[in-house]
Amino acid sequence: MSYKAVTKTLTYQTKHRLEFINITPEVDLFVADSGVQTGTLTLQTHHTTCGLWVNEDEPNLIGPATTLGYVPDLQRVLDRFASPAETYGHNDIRDVNNPEGKRHTHLCVPDENGVSQECVNGHAHAQGLIIPSYLTLIIENGKVIRGVWQQILLVELDHDRTRALTMLAQGEV
């Protein structure tokens, strides 16, 4: 057997805060196409307010709230840990557009040109403490080892935007 390492970067357009996107099908396809039979899969986002998580893709856990009509379990837990309603020093960064230091937007409201400036997102950085930006999983017999209910989820902690994720499959082929 020989060693092989393959990378691929994917992008996702998120739609709202605390969105959980099941990326398992894309990950499984990448691993199959990589040819790696025994090794590891590392996934890493390019962001501080977007993470990766292995859990069940079940609406009562992950939502979205707009579909359910109530707040799903994991949003309630994350917001209890770091509520968007709390005061965060990160939300008061001074910049040339706002010398007083207070941000007068909430969750990246676009300006008159449609451009979102600095966002009120201290809560998203705090929630990132418990939703890591990377995962490493085991590849065996050309497949990622997962339990029956385990899915790989991309987690948007901030607001709608384009997110990038790089995958690395490495090991014996």
Question: CA–CA distance from 49 to each of 17, 29, 57, 97, 160 (Å)?
Answer: 10, 26, 20, 23, 11
Q: Which domains does the chain have, with CATH numbers?
A: 3-172 (2.60.120.460)
Whether residue 33 has pLDDT greater than 70: yes
Residues 48-103 pLDDT 10s: 999 999 999 999 999 988 888 899 999 999 999 999 989 887 776 655 566 665 55
In this prediction the pTM is 0.86
Please indicate whether residue 90 or residue 18 has the higher confidence score (pLDDT).
Answer: 18
CB contact at 8 A, 171 and 141? no
Residues 127-143 pLDDT 10s: 999 999 999 999 999 99
Residues 113-171 pLDDT 10s: 766 656 788 999 999 999 999 999 999 999 999 999 999 999 999 988 899 999 999 99
Q: Give burial (CB, 10 Å; 0-12/13-18/19+) of 86.
A: exposed
Structure-token pair, residue 56: 């069940």
